Amino acid sequence: MRRNRIPCLFICIIVFCTGCWDQTFLKDQSLITAIGFDKSEENGQLLMSVAIPIIDKEKINELVYSHVGTSARNARRSIERSTQKTLDPSRNRVIILSEDLAKQDIYSLLDKFYRDPRSSLIAKIAVSEGNVNELLTIPLTNQPEISQFITELIEGVERESLAPVQNLQIICPLMFDPGHDFSVPLLRPGKNTIDSAGLALFDGTKMTGKLDSNEAMVYLMLADELGKITSITQKVHDEKTPDQNNYITFRINELSRKLHVEPKDNGEVATTLDLHVKIAVSEYPVDELQEEEKIDELTSTISENLTTYSENILDKIQAANFDGLGIGRHVYAHHQDFWKNYKWKEIYQNVQFTVNMEVEIVEFGIIN
């Protein structure tokens, strides 16, 4: 009996001392599912909006509260005071920034999410073209939960190669990296829905440019960050009627990209992108895929189109000073002397891109 006394004591301690200091009851908490930031029109302070699910008789509704504050934390406190509940950020799914805020330093807004051990680092980030508070309060058809709608929208966009896979933690290394930048999806509020409007490009922590959805897809191809499905539509003829016959739609089955970075003495960086794209035709009403000649003609048209398009996009991302391909990181890793001589973001404009596109049609569907 004596021998068992201490183990018994421990069992009692474990059972009765489960700790009442750090318990949090769900009834006192409001889980935040989406957070939005706007620049307040009145005084230029921060307008924070949070979506909170309210469970009411088997139905979940999301209410959006908002408040002005000097910082994210400060605005949250004000919302907590007005709702009489503690806001819990641990299940947050998405953070949306308005475009004018994103053009300033976004890290100052996000710092609190990185610092708080309870905050969820897997929340997605997005930039809204319009007012975020309005975006969060759009009455959606058939979807009471705005946060779920937006999260699924972003996940869909990532799957369809319209935006790179990202969350708070994934963008963080790139935010601080001088030789690699990140991009996040751009959302556009519609009447009863929200659309994806392409990509918001960041230079360091500031948004400096945009790509539309088609450009985003080809950009992701150049960056070798394609999602599961990539479906591109291209104009390949001019003279066919009706107009649909001028277009081809294809999926990218396989992509191999080789990036070659070669700095020169004069401060220029020659960058060669060798892409080998294997595509599958999914729509081509002209139906002339039985002759080898026609196929060759088609592939060369597609690869020419893609090359010109890629070059335009590269010009665009260079104009935004957005190093999404991580050229700077390559220079840092392989050409340390060159890196030390220059300030990367100042000479990023001097990068000379050469795109070698090789297209191969590997699938036609079940008809020619």
Q: Which long-range contacts (CB under 8 A, 24 or more apart) does 245-249 make?
A: 245/285, 245/286, 247/283, 248/281, 248/283, 248/284, 248/298, 248/302, 249/281, 249/282, 249/283, 249/284
* Count of residues near another protein by CB under 8 A: 30
Count of CB atoms situated within 10 Å of the CB of 69: 17
For another protein, give the closer residue by CB, 54 or 122. Answer: 122
Place of tokens 């053009």: 103
Site for another protein in 121-150 (CB under 8 A): 121-122
- For residue 22, the minimal CB distance to another protein (Å) is 5
Stretch that binds another protein, among 75-83, 234-242, 315-323, 329-337 (CB under 8 A): 329-337
d(CA 37, CA 126) in angstroms, rounded, equals 11
d(CA 327, CA 44) in angstroms, rounded, equals 36
Composition of the chain by helix, strand, coil, percent to 5: 35, 30, 30
Residues 13-52, one symbol each (x = binds another protein by CB under 8 A, - = not), give x---x-x-xx------------------------------
Residues 60-99, one symbol each (x = binds another protein by CB under 8 A, - = not), give ------------------------------x---------
- For residue 170, the minimal CB distance to another protein (Å) is 6
Residues 165-204, one symbol each (x = binds another protein by CB under 8 A, - = not), give --x-xx-xxxxxxx-x------------------------
Q: Are 361 and 303 in contact (CB under 8 A)?
A: no
Contacts with 42 (C-beta within 8 Å, 6 or more apart), sequence order? 68
Site for another protein in 101-120 (CB under 8 A): 114, 117
Please give the residue ranges that form the binding site for another protein (CB under 8 A): 6, 10, 13, 17, 19, 21-22, 90, 114, 117, 121-122, 167, 169-170, 172-178, 180, 326, 329-330, 332-334, 336
